[in-house]
């Protein structure tokens, strides 16, 4: 991304780091997240207008706590430290930090001592969101105290000559009443940003980049019909037209009527070069007898690569692979961001292709968040049913069937899932929910239909609300909607006699069952 104006965020492991980046972008200023240990030289290569140190779970007092390159403070670029970010500035530049047993966590009243710079045009006091157990007892030389709370005598600080600022709370979260204004003040009053980064400018720049990179070569792209691959396809198509070859692989675990819908939209409406490959029998034969969810993922991933490789070889002029990779995928794939994390399960989306294919990557969306991709899609004219389609995992219905995947169980789930989506849309809840779907369980239960005893499958309904899928809460659906869904499934889908509702948040559960 060669934008002229960028604010760089050093990630010290905060759960809110991506939120900081999004808040910056809401001000039409491009932001980029980098590991906390980036060198001053590498950081300077971005030519940033400003630098933000994120919060983090560590304590600056602990041994081996993450520290930035001290030379960053010599670059003359404005710096804003948030929570841990402020504390590490204090420790690095000669101030003092003290650990206390009484943490300041949650909403607290902030009192402004200096209405300048990042606190310009703000009221004398307002509610902020704090989350820390370390307090600043002495600011570094040349710094002024700019804010305090009842428990923290130093909740804000500033070195105006060096343009280095710190806040002990989190302005990026909505719980901080004037947080948006604080970040805006930093961007425009301190850093001198112009705020010209828009989706239109992104589209223009991306098209030019693709044209320049690809030239007269062909690009092959695996089109799934999801938002990411669809927007990537339309963007690349705008740049190179017929030199984009889209491959849509039916892996046998798609939803009801999905292949027909995707072919209709992209072949008939957008006239893309779309090659449809029905490999459903191949995938299902490999899944026979497999019950372990990780093994299902691996099988589907391997088979996808095999099929895609065979199809891609048909295009002799193809030198590039188009992908709908998003910014969170990039960040989460690099261990240095936020420190080491345990693998809960492999990624839903299929991984890279074999190196011997020798295809170079074209990822026009790799600098964007999901909501930004939807804005791009809207600019490109993508229809709402695809633009606002809820996330669907790469392994498809295979991980929504607990246990073995069979044709019969797939048919049951497809019919039930269609009812779920139909009723959610009828109730105008589809766009309010992050995901809403059915899960076929590996158990049967006794029921009564008419005067006869039944012994049939149990179906779980899963509906969640979320902003980015990283955390989620179960959807508080009206009882009438739940009743309609249950009634229709039991009456219309022969083989299911019981519907249960999953009321677990993420964490501790994941959104998908497998």
- DSSP-assigned beta bridge partners for residue 454: 447
CA distance 449 to 494: 11
The sign of the torsion formed by the CA atoms of 125, 128, 134, 139 equals negative
- Collapse the DSSP code of 29 into the 3-class scheme (helix H, G, I; strand E, B; otherwise coil) and give the result: coil
d(CA 12, CA 84) in angstroms, rounded, equals 8
Task: Judge whether 172 counts as a catalytic residue.
Answer: yes
CA 167/CA 247 separation, integer angstroms: 50
How far is residue 309 from each of residues 138, 221, 281, measured CA to CA in Å? Answer: 61, 11, 18
Helix H or strand E encompassing 459: strand 452-465
Q: Which residue carries 């828009």 as its tokens? A: 198
> Residues 178, 126: contact at Cβ < 8 Å?
yes
Please check whether residue 85 is in contact with residue 52, taking contact to mean a CB–CB distance below 8 angstroms.
yes
Q: Does the active-site annotation cover 271? A: no
Quick check: 209 and 199 in contact, CB under 8 A?
no
Name the phi and psi angles at 352, rounded to 5: -70, 165
Given 5, 83, 128, 311, which residue is catalytic? 83
480 catalytic per annotation:
no
Angle between helix 479-492 and helix 407-426 axes, rounded to 10 deg: 150
172, 311, 423, 512: the catalytic one is 172
**Rounded to the nearest 10 degrees, what angle do helices 227-240 and 370-379 cross at?**
50
Count of C-beta atoms within a 10 Å radius of residue 414: 19
Catalytic residue among 132, 170, 372, 457: 170
CA 9 to CA 81: how far, in whole Å?
10
Nearest to 448, CA basis, from 492, 489, 497 = 497
Q: Which residues are tagged catalytic?
A: 83, 170, 172
């Amino acid at each position: 991304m060669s934008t002229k104006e960028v604010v760089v965020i050093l990630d010290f492991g905060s759960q809110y780091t991506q939120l900081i980046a999004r808040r910056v972008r809401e001000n039409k200023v491009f932001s980029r997240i980098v590991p906390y240990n980036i060198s001053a030289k590498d950081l300077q290569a971005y030519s940033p207008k400003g630098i933000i140190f994120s919060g983090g779970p560590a304590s600056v007092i602990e041994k081996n706590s993450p520290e930035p390159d001290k030379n960053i403070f010599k670059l003359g670029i404005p710096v804003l430290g948030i929570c841990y970010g402020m504390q590490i500035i204090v420790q690095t530049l000669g101030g003092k930090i003290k650990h206390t047993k009484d943490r300041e966590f949650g909403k607290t009243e902030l009192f402004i001592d200096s209405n300048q710079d990042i606190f310009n045009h703000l009221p004398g006091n307002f509610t902020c969101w704090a989350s820390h157990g370390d307090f600043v007892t002495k600011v570094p030389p040349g710094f002024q105290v700019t804010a305090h709370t009842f428990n923290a005598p130093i909740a804000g600080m500033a070195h105006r000559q060096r343009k280095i600022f710190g806040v002990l709370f989190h302005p990026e979260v909505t719980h901080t009443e004037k947080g948006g204004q604080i970040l805006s003040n930093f961007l425009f009053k301190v850093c001198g940003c112009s705020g010209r980064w828009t989706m239109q400018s992104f589209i223009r720049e991306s098209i030019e980049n693709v044209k320049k990179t690809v030239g007269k070569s062909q690009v092959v792209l695996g089109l799934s019909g999801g938002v990411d691959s669809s927007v990537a396809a339309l963007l690349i198509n705008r740049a190179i037209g017929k030199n984009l070859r889209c491959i849509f692989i039916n892996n046998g675990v798609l939803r009801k009527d999905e292949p027909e819908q995707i072919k209709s939209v992209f072949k008939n409406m957008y006239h893309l070069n779309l090659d449809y490959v029905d490999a459903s029998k191949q995938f299902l034969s490999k899944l026979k007898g497999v019950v372990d969810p990780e093994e299902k993922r691996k099988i589907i991933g391997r088979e996808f690569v095999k099929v895609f490789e065979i199809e891609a070889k048909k295009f002799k002029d193809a030198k590039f692979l188009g992908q709908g990779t998003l910014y969170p995928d990039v960040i989460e794939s690099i261990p240095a961001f936020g420190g080491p994390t345990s693998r809960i399960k492999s990624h839903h989306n299929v991984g890279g292709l074999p190196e011997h294919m020798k295809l170079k990557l074209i990822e026009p969306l790799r600098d964007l968040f999901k909501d930004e991709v939807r804005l791009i899609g809207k600019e490109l004219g993508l229809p709402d049913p695809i633009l606002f389609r809820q996330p669907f995992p790469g392994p498809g219905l295979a991980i929504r069937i607990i246990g073995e995947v069979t044709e019969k169980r797939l048919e049951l789930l497809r019919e039930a899932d269609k009812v779920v989506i139909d009723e959610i849309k009828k109730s105008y809840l589809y766009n309010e929910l992050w995901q809403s779907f059915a899960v076929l369980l590996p158990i049967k239960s006794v029921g009564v239909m008419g005067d006869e005893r039944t012994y049939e499958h149990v179906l779980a309904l899963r509906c969640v609300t979320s902003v980015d899928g990283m955390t989620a809460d179960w959807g508080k659906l009206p009882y009438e909607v739940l009743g309609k869904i249950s009634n229709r499934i039991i009456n219309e889908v022969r083989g299911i006699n019981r519907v249960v509702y999953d009321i677990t948040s993420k964490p501790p559960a994941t959104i998908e069952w497998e």
